[in-house]
Amino acid sequence: MAVSERIRRSAVALLAQWADRPVRWPCRKRFLSGDAPGTIGTCGAEASADDGGWHALGIDTDVTPSTAAGPEPRADRARLDRPRPDAVDTTRRRGRMTPAKHATIARLAPTLGLDADDGGPWRDRLVAAFGRDAPRLLDVGVGAADATIAWALAHPDQDVVAVEVHRPSLAAAFAAVEAAGVDNLRIVEADVRRVLADLEPGDVTAVRVLFPDPWPKARHHKRRLVGAEFVARVADVVPPGGWLHVATDWPDYAGAVRAAIAAEPRLEVVADPGPLVERPVTVYERRGLDAGRPPVDVVARRRA
């Protein structure tokens, strides 16, 4: 097979994977006619060589993903061992998933994990998972779970629900929880905003977010997790006396969190949080300290 023919077929297969419809090729006729500055029109499958389009090259425009994209993805992989469509892609895709990490998730998720897609009230599912109806703490973005495990061990009379969307960290968290032998901790692979949307008032008594992605560039601030909408949803979920704890090493992010709390009448900032902020130094906190950014802890309590 000629090299040009192999290149042409590879291009057809690649483009077919990116579309949910037959490939529609750029039309040279419309391009030369200048329909709009800087744009290239498309020819329908009915276009021909007489139109001046690229169909003169003999390219089959009826190629679809089912014929050109190759074999279907493997269907035997566990549901918790594949990317979640609701996850934040820019976070989930960082890092490398090795076969060992896939195996760790597949082995430990059934016993140490909770599936966000199981359905039913979260309270009932948590009671079934922990075997008791104790106060519950929600830890967001737990990484390798060092601080989460310490939180669970410090509060054996409460249950900790850890939410993580980054898959390499998820594998590390499962392995760490197994090694620590903690039985009052379960891990959920999901975007925490989805979990909060499904929780009912009183399902958790506290929400903790340690060093969320700061998105330091001003044009990216809208991507930050903790804002007015997040704070309002936490106020919906935690009971009177419940609390929200956010730690960050970016002063402007801490200021934005304080402003969001001040705008929420059901929450008030705790001036002296004391033991509420006790935790081991996390990996991200250490990086901030090494860069000369001390951590700032913002704690708010739900008004009665």
What is the SS3 assignment for 84-153? CCCCCHHHHCCCCCCHHHHHHHHHHHHHHEECCCCCCCHHHHHHHHHCCCCCEEEEECCCCCHHHHHHHH
Same domain, residue pair 250 and 203: yes
Distance CA 178, CA 299 (A): 30
Same domain, residue pair 86 and 164: yes
CATH of the domain at 125: 3.40.50.150
Provide the 10 A C-beta neighbour count for residue 205. 18
Of 213, 252, 272, 297, the active-site residue reads 213
Question: In a structure prediction context, what are the per-residue pLDDT tens digits for the chain, which is 304 residues long?
Answer: 566 777 777 776 666 665 544 444 444 444 334 444 444 344 444 334 344 443 444 444 444 443 334 444 444 334 444 444 444 434 444 568 999 999 999 999 999 999 998 888 999 999 999 999 999 999 999 988 999 999 999 999 999 999 999 999 999 999 999 999 999 999 999 999 999 999 999 999 999 999 999 999 999 999 999 999 999 999 999 999 999 999 999 999 999 999 999 999 999 999 999 888 999 999 989 999 999 999 999 999 999 9
Give the residues across from 206 on adjacent strands.
137, 243
Same domain, residue pair 37 and 112: no
Residue 30's domain comprises: 3-68
**Is 74 inside a domain boundary?**
no
Q: Structurally, how many domains does the chain consist of?
A: 2
8 Å CB contact between 159 and 185: yes
* Domain end among 68, 102, 119: 68
60 catalytically annotated: no
**Is 199 inside a domain boundary?**
yes
Q: What is the pTM of this model?
A: 0.71
Same domain, residue pair 225 and 282: yes
Same domain, residue pair 60 and 164: no
Same domain, residue pair 142 and 46: no
**Is 290 inside a domain boundary?**
yes
